[in-house]
Structure 1
Amino acid sequence: MAQPVPELAPLTPGARLVLDAASLLFYERGIHAVGVDTIAEAAGVTKKTLYDRFGSKEALVVSYLQHRDARWRVHVAEQLARVPEPGADRVLAIFDAAISWSDENSPKGCSAINARAEIGDGHDGHPVFPEVARQKAWLRDLFEELCTEAGVQDAPEMAEAMMLLYEGAIVTVGMETFPEPFAVARRWAAGLLAQD
């Protein structure tokens, strides 16, 4: 099975204060809108502590994304544990995880997508791009694995359809286009899986 939670280096207490403050500020205000002075002040540490623990704002952004992703993966694993038998319901469990996660944890949409949108075109070597790509590849691969286990005929193509429904829903959450986009995406996903 796809690695459920990436291995992350343990954090010192000072690093945890910095990361917690940065995570809240980056998600609420945006990466460019939040400077290291603001993060250090919110964390109750010096800028030196921030730089000693993370090295740069870019590395702190990557750590923020990695830790949010790790929390999401734990949530997904818990949801999948409730549906242990292979089948459509196990594929749909990803949408169920998103439904139970998004209101409290992602009311402004996906942190990875938001970070990717803020950073630029991706050709400047910024470390956010490989991190976002890694997270999205993991979810797509998980969908394929679950579709394969469920006996879907063309599991790679169905995984891509599931990914498109999921990604469309998470963007719609952030845009507030209409209510309960993950519930809508789940219904369409169930319909696609039933046709297979």
Structure 2
Amino acid sequence: MAIEPNKSRKEQLLDVASYLFYEQGYHATGIKQIIEKAGIAKGTFFSHFQSKEQLGVAWLHKRHHTWNSWLQAYLSDQDPTPMGQILGIFNFVERWMQDCDYRGCAFLNALSEMPDATNPLRKEILEHKQDLLNQLEHLVSRLKPEESPEAHLALAHSLLVLLSGCITEMQVFRALWPIDAARRAACALIERK
């Protein structure tokens, strides 16, 4: 991983940590390794982040914005109808999973390492998933304006479960069939009503 010299030390540190946390896992990555890869002094690390946990929260916060910018850029080139945008999310996940060599969702990966529901990283994970749920609910409400808000939310819940499930299974099988199955199931759910 190349360090960009034009970035601040804090941004460089966050970039290195983001790369290592995603590639190796949060718990497998130590502060010492992050400091060495970033080429900084220990004191510099602690002048920016009081703990690894604080750095982990910053990583997930940054990842949320990065991932959503990738998603929105992809969707801007897709069919603008609500159905086109919903299917576009599934198509984006397919492309993204191939691009990351099936490494999977940073948030789901981190969640598997955080059994404590009070861990601050869990708040970032929840906010990321809630944001995706909100996007789906908005698209569903545009797609089916005649239905109730409760029906919109129920369908958005199902779509989110399909997306999360297919991401996990694509990571396990290192194959595309889970996204194909999830996309078919999503279409069936949408058309059922």
Q: What residue identity is the alignment partner of 1:150? A: L
Provide the residue aligned with 2:182 in structure 1.
185
1:91, 1:160 → 2: CA distance?
Answer: 13
Q: Return the offset for 1:94.
A: 1.1
Q: Deviations over 1:37-61 (max 9, x none)?
A: 1001011111221211122110111
Q: Deviations over 1:124-180 (max 9, x none)?
A: x32111111111111111110000011263211110110110010111122226534
TM-score by length of 2: 0.86
- Conserved 8 A contact 2:94-2:176: no
Alignment of 1:176 onto 2:169 = no
1:177, 1:164 → 2: CA distance?
Answer: 19
Which of residues 139, 143, 147 is equivalent to 1:146? 139
- Conserved 8 A contact 2:87-2:183: yes
**Which has the higher mean CA deviation after the structures are superposed, 176-185 or 160-169?**
176-185
Instruction: Report how many residues are paired.
Output: 184
Alignment of 1:66 onto 2:61 = yes
Provide the residue aligned with 2:156 in structure 1.
159
Gapped regions of structure 1 (runs ≥ 5) = 1-10
TM-score by length of 1: 0.85
Q: Deviations over 1:73-122 (max 9, x none)?
A: 11121222224633312211111121121222362221111111112231
RMSD (Å), alpha carbons: 2.0
SS at match of 1:121: coil
Gapped regions of structure 2 (runs ≥ 5) = 1-5
**Which has the higher mean CA deviation after the structures are superposed, 176-185 or 155-164?**
176-185
- Report % sequence identity: 29
